[in-house]
Amino acid sequence: MGGMEPVELVEDDGSHGRRGPAVAPAARTPGDGAADPASPGPAIPGTRTRRLRRMALGTVAVLVVGLVATQAVVDARERSRVARFADVPGVLAPLSPDAQVLWRLDPSTEPLFATWSVPVSVGDVLLGGALDDDGTVTLGALDPDTGAELWTQQLPLPGGRQLPTSVVPGWVGCAPRSSPDPQVEASLTGTAACVVENPTAEFRLLDDDGAAQEVAVPTSTLLSIDAGTGEVIERLDLPAGTSVHPVNGGYVTLTPDVVPDPAWRSSADVPAGGVTVERHDWGSAGPRWTFHAALPAGTAFTSAAADGDGQTVTVSVAGQTWILDDADGSLREGPDGGGGYLLLLRSLPGGGVLTSWSQDGVDRTSLLTADGDTRDLVGLSALAPNPDDGSASDVVLLVEGADGAPGPIVAVDPRTGEQRWRSATVAVERSGFVLDGVVHTLVGTTLQAVDASDGSVLWQVQVPRAGGTLFTDGSVALVVAQGRLDAYDLRDGRARWSYAVATTDQGPELRPVTGGPTAAPVGTDGSSVTVDGSVYPTIVGRRLGLMDPSGQLAVLG
């Protein structure tokens, strides 16, 4: 078989193919080193040489174009992947390696936001509010990209203000209105439910062990407002002692049989009674249903809460929890099957309910299937992924362990309670996030990704600092720990970029770290940078926020 002939590529002098004047060959003398007349003369670049040269240049060009095209495809796929997560609650807006502080919020100069309060995203704005000493509530909206004030609204409260904010500050909380009906949900975009609790009395109550408990008697107001303009759509002023809690599709009121009395001095003074639960739809004249829960004698109506997701409503009062059907208020689970302090309530696809609670210092988990069967998941605590895009909805994710200690992930069938898989080597705590069928968790200094379909470990990396908080923008895992902000690629765990967090008179600041997560931060002048481990990370709208101990907030972008 013939091999390829060696080819020398020579530079074309441009003369080939052009006819010039005839030149007589120079005279040759024997011994002058001239070639024999019979041998070929000097090589002149021909068609073949030019073709090879063009082929070589074309090959290089194809390689360059191919690399550029491949990178473009990779970048396009990454942008598409990130775009899919843009509407998943809890996923941040993209945070790039050149992150910076977009705007700041100082509670000493901004009356809408008390120290350590964070504005809430509703529609296209950020909402907040404050209770004033003159008996009014001030609500306002900020631009999420600039922090600029968009509007403010002052509303008088019934009965005015009986306790100064320096004694009992009261409470204002806003959240987006929601509905389990997709058509109704679309019409609620940009509307908010704001709850104002104006304490009318506060006193100290001693329990059987002599420990003091602070008891506040609230007067609650529920406001449904247009977040874009501040217009009040609906207002509900409730009697003293009744609390109100927005739920998916409406709100729940909790009214004690006996209103707490400042004349009480100990739990022995508290009469036996209970609490009436009413589930209301927005705009309705009366409750959808009513439920009454009995409380043991000596139990004061304190620490009351209610929540609902369109399938169930959970009510927690004085350490006891009831789970009710959202449609008719029927009891699905009570203190005998799920009492104690509620840790997590999650409705599952198909109608099941996962409940975790703490009772007598022991964490317990129960699975209530759509068929009404209850499974006690002994030794397992619910994993609370946030964000969660629903890509692992065919399993219930739990953590195996006792007393809150990290343990392996266990996946359970939501219909039967049977174990699907158990991760062999991965120890996690009770939080993390799920995107694209992958569970990402951080425990200690270990950041890891686990396939939600079988529990296999996709990648695992060590971060330099323990005790971090985990966030994501859909492209990277963001670890905020001990004055550092480090980003790791969600695809393989590769370190992408790092910042040190310092504090100044203006609040938290970012300082670039060029050597990756393990490098010490250095200032632009070569000096060392002192990081501030007391800075607290939070989410402001869809952006990452950093808050220092004084309550000054820096929003990143």
Query: What is the reported pTM?
Result: 0.79
Annotate 249-279 with b (16+ C-beta within 10 A) or e (fewer). bbbbbbbbebebeeebeebeebeebbbebbb
For residue 425, give the DSSP letter. S
Point out the residues of the chain with pLDDT beneath 50: 1-44, 337-338
How high is the pLDDT of residue 542? Answer: 94
Q: Dihedral through CA 292, CA 298, CA 302, CA 308, nearest 10?
A: -30
Q: Angle at the Cα of 161 (from 158 to 162), degrees rounded to 5?
A: 115
How high is the pLDDT of residue 194? Answer: 96
**What region, left, alpha or beta, does residue 137 occupy, with left being phi > 0 and alpha being psi -120 to 50 degrees?**
beta
How high is the pLDDT of residue 41? Answer: 45
- In order, the DSSP letters of 272-338 are SEEEEEEEEETT-SS-SEEEEEEE-TT--S-S-EEEE-SSEEEEEETTEEEEEETTT--EEE-HHHH
**What region, left, alpha or beta, does residue 303 occupy, with left being phi > 0 and alpha being psi -120 to 50 degrees?**
left
How high is the pLDDT of residue 434? Answer: 96
Paired strand residues for 214: 204
Give Cα 325 to chain centroid, integer Å: 28
How high is the pLDDT of residue 50? Answer: 61
How high is the pLDDT of residue 12? Answer: 46
How high is the pLDDT of residue 35? Answer: 41
